């Protein structure tokens, strides 16, 4: 439900974790990873990473490994040390360190969780069982509404529900927070897992049906096979009304303001008054409904489908959502499907690592405070700010020099750059968890209360003034983000280190690696989504008709290029679905390249590679990823990012790459100058 929200946030691809050899004293480019038997012009990704791809083996608890793994493993080790210190410290009740300690301890107490059995969830299941009519059902569905974004941090804890709410700056009034309602109701990652007609998808859906039955059986439900069949059929019907991923990324299609009275008229079938009463939103005067036809279809299903099926659906989703803090058999069955089958991962992560994920998801800023105090010195922030300033200046020059854009549109674009907020390392204001009660002996209750606490925090913001400097990530997150509704970009501390950034490395390598990441996030301000927002973060068309026509034609050309990439015989990349990220990759690379050439650092040959070659190699090696087939399929079907090899090979659109590696017409990646996509 929330993965489309991630698209609007413009998240840089988090390629998943895995143990990859750290750079040590080698700098950013690892010469041993290069496969010199591959011509750069035939496959630049495999030229840069081919030896690594042949050498690395996927650990049994990983669906993929990547360069992100270096930093995520490092960040996890550091957080483990911080948690150990918090556990050993004498922290007063209610303090941040005490919350960290007690939450961690509660999850690690496997014996205590096992001893309680199903007792923690019984009262909640009893409430579902007591639902006697569709009015009570609507109220119960409303109580499941959450603004959780646990999916950002933790795949073991999620909150699937019929709809989701996202509290964010209003599309049309970005100075105040509004309520966005999004389609939901599915346990599998996307509608195509239900509707896809290929044999792999049909087989996976049958395996999912068996999994649902197993979860119900373990939770003590009778007739689990029949119930499971009806639950999956209901989700299949819901999926038929969901919007495809590519349509979800059209901001203008999503900008639908509904009043509370509109819901009964436009989406009949659900008692919306009871729904909003149950969700605590009865006083809300307006909503932005992201996918109107999905709301119409899902509301109709509430009316048409039997009450008993909906009650089973609610019970199953509740069990699934909390399986990891219930008896081991449920947690293991959940991983058997979502880990082994859906992602192809043979083994679950160690419990201590999953405990760390939980702590990050629930009280991440408390860990972040400790993290930056220990691991993010002021000089690191200063160097990152310097690089950001150079890249923004380079992008500003590129906008000014565009031959196809008129002065009016250029002025609007420059205004966006003028007001862009850049957050480096950590937020200016930390999240407050004082209202979140944590009991070191109650893992289930901690997760339950944590989700409800965050939801209430989000709802309390509705109608209030927007904090443009607010962060959506913790400092220990290995990622970066562009927030178009705030016209802001954030770079957490954990990504601002080797192998993305190394003070000892040449400028060419730093700008090719972290510089292209910075450029990527700056460029999101002007991708197919970001370009719909003005300097205030409002949805407004600030383009002249001719400029917008040119922009759309160029981006359509890039989408068509990515449509030709086929990682599997039966599955191709969706160029429209991945368009925003592909624009940001290409424009970010160009801005980073220009900024590098304006930097004062020396240019020298390293390992036989010129400075420009180092720049492109560092960029391509930052994309190195090895994934299991099941995980790769999942990415292609559900992610707004193209697989890493195609992202690295976007250099084929960039003239300086041809010059750096003497790429000629006969080589596979070669594009004639008129066929190269040029946007920003």
CA–CA separation, 249 vs 111, rounded Å?
45
Give the angle 9-188-478 at the CA atoms, nearest 5°: 40
Residues 517 and 566 sit within 8 Å (Cβ to Cβ)? no
- Measuring CA to CA, how many Å separate 598 from each of 148, 380, 394, 458, 679? 43, 20, 8, 43, 21
For 93, the enclosing helix (H) or strand (E) is none
Backbone angles phi, psi at 635, to 5 degrees: -60, -50
* DSSP secondary structure code for residue 641 in this structure: S
Give the angle 205-210-214 at the CA atoms, nearest 5°: 145
- Cα Dmax for the chain: 75
Q: Answer whether 0.95 is exceeded by the pTM.
A: no
CA–CA separation, 372 vs 98, rounded Å?
18
Using alpha carbons only, how large is the chain's radius of gyration in Å?
A: 25
pLDDT attached to residue 17? 29
Q: What is the SS3 assignment for 288? A: strand
**Least confident residue range of 76-85, 362-371, 423-432, 449-458:** 76-85
Domains of the chain: 25-56+377-425+501-621+643-675 (3.40.390.10), 121-331 (1.10.1380.10)
> Does the pLDDT value for residue 406 go beyond 90?
yes
Average pLDDT of span 464-485: 94
pLDDT digits (tens, 9 = 90+) for 343-391: 999 999 999 999 999 999 999 999 999 999 999 988 888 888 999 999 9
CA–CA separation, 278 vs 136, rounded Å?
9
Q: 80 burial class (0-12, 13-18, 19+ CB within 10 angstroms)?
A: middle
Give the angle 15-16-19 at the CA atoms, nearest 5°: 115
pLDDT attached to residue 70? 80
Instruction: Quote the percentage of the chain above a pLDDT of 90.
Output: 84
As beta bridge partners, residue 64 has 627
CA–CA separation, 472 vs 247, rounded Å?
24
CA–CA separation, 240 vs 104, rounded Å?
40
**Least confident residue range of 148-157, 316-325, 610-619:** 148-157
**Least confident residue range of 74-88, 285-299, 452-466, 665-679:** 74-88
pLDDT attached to residue 504? 81
pLDDT attached to residue 397? 96
Residues 6+ apart with CB under 8 A from 379: none
């Amino acid at each position: 439900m929330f993965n489309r929200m991630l698209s609007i946030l413009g998240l840089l691809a988090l390629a998943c974790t895995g143990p990859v050899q750290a750079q040590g004293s080698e700098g950013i480019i690892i010469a041993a990873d290069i496969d010199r038997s591959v011509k750069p012009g035939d496959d630049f990704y495999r030229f840069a990473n081919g030896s690594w791809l042949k050498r690395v083996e996927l650990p049994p608890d990983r669906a993929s490994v990547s360069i992100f793994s270096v930093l995520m493993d490092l960040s996890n080790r550091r957080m483990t040390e911080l948690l150990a210190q918090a556990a050993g410290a004498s922290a007063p009740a209610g303090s941040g360190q005490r919350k960290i300690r007690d939450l961690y301890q509660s999850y690690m107490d496997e014996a205590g969780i096992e001893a309680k059995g199903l007792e923690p969830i019984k009262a909640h299941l009893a409430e579902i069982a007591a639902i006697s009519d569709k009015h009570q059902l609507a109220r119960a569905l409303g109580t499941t509404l959450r603004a959780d974004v646990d999916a950002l941090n933790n795949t073991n804890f999620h909150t699937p529900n019929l709809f989701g709410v996202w509290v964010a700056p209003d599309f049309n009034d970005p100075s105040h927070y509004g309520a966005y309602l999004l389609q939901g109701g599915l346990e599998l990652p996307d509608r195509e897992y239900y509707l896809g007609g290929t044999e792999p998808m049909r087989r996976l859906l049958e395996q999912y049906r068996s999994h649902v039955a197993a979860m119900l059986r373990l939770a003590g439900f009778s007739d689990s096979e029949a119930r499971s069949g009806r639950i999956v059929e209901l989700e299949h019907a819901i999926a038929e009304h969901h919007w495809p991923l590519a349509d979800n990324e059209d901001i203008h299609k999503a900008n639908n303001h509904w009043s509370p009275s509109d819901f009964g008229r436009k989406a009949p079938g659900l008692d919306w008054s009871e729904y909003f009463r149950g969700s605590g939103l009865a006083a809300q005067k307006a909503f932005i409904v992201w996918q109107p036809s999905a709301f119409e279809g899902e509301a109709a299903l509430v009316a048409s489908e039997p009450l008993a099926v909906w009650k089973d659906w609610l019970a199953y989703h509740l069990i699934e959502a909390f399986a990891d803090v219930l008896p081991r058999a449920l947690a293991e069955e959940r991983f058997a499907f979502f880990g082994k089958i859906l992602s192809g991962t043979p083994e679950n992560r160690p419990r201590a690592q999953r405990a760390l994920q939980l702590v990050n998801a629930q009280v991440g800023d408390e860990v972040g405070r400790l993290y930056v105090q220990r691991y993010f010195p002021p000089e690191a922030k200063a160097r990152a700010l310097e690089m950001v300033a150079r890249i923004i200046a380079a992008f500003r020059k590129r906008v000014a020099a565009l031959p196809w854009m008129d002065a009016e549109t250029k002025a609007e674009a420059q205004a966006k750059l003028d007001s862009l907020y850049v957050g480096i390392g950590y937020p200016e204001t930390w999240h407050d968890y004082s209202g979140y009660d944590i009991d070191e002996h109650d893992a289930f209750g901690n997760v339950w209360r944590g989700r409800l606490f965050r939801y209430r925090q989000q709802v309390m913001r509705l109608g209030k003034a927007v904090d443009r400097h607010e962060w959506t990530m913790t400092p220990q997150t290995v990622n970066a983000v562009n927030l178009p509704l705030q016209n802001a970009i954030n770079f957490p501390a954990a990504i601002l280190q080797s192998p993305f950034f190394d003070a000892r490395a040449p400028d060419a390598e730093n700008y090719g690696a972290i510089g292209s990441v910075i450029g990527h996030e700056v460029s999101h301000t002007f991708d197919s989504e970001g370009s719909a927002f003005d300097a205030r973060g409002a949805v407004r068309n600030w383009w002249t008709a001719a400029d917008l026509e040119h922009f759309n034609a160029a981006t359509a050309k890039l989408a068509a290029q990515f449509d030709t990439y086929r990682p599997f015989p039966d599955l191709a990349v969706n160029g429209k679905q991945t368009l925003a990220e592909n624009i940001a990759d290409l424009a970010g690379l160009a801005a980073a390249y220009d900024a590098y050439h304006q930097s004062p650092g020396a240019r020298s040959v390293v390992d036989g590679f010129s400075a420009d070659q180092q720049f492109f190699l560092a960029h391509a090696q930052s994309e190195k990823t090895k994934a299991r087939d099941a995980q790769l399929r999942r990415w292609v079907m559900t992610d707004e990012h193209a697989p890493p090899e195609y992202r690295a090979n976007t250099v084929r659109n960039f003239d300086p790459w041809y010059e750096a590696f003497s790429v000629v017409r006969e080589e596979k990646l070669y594009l004639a100058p008129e066929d190269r996509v040029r946007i920003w």
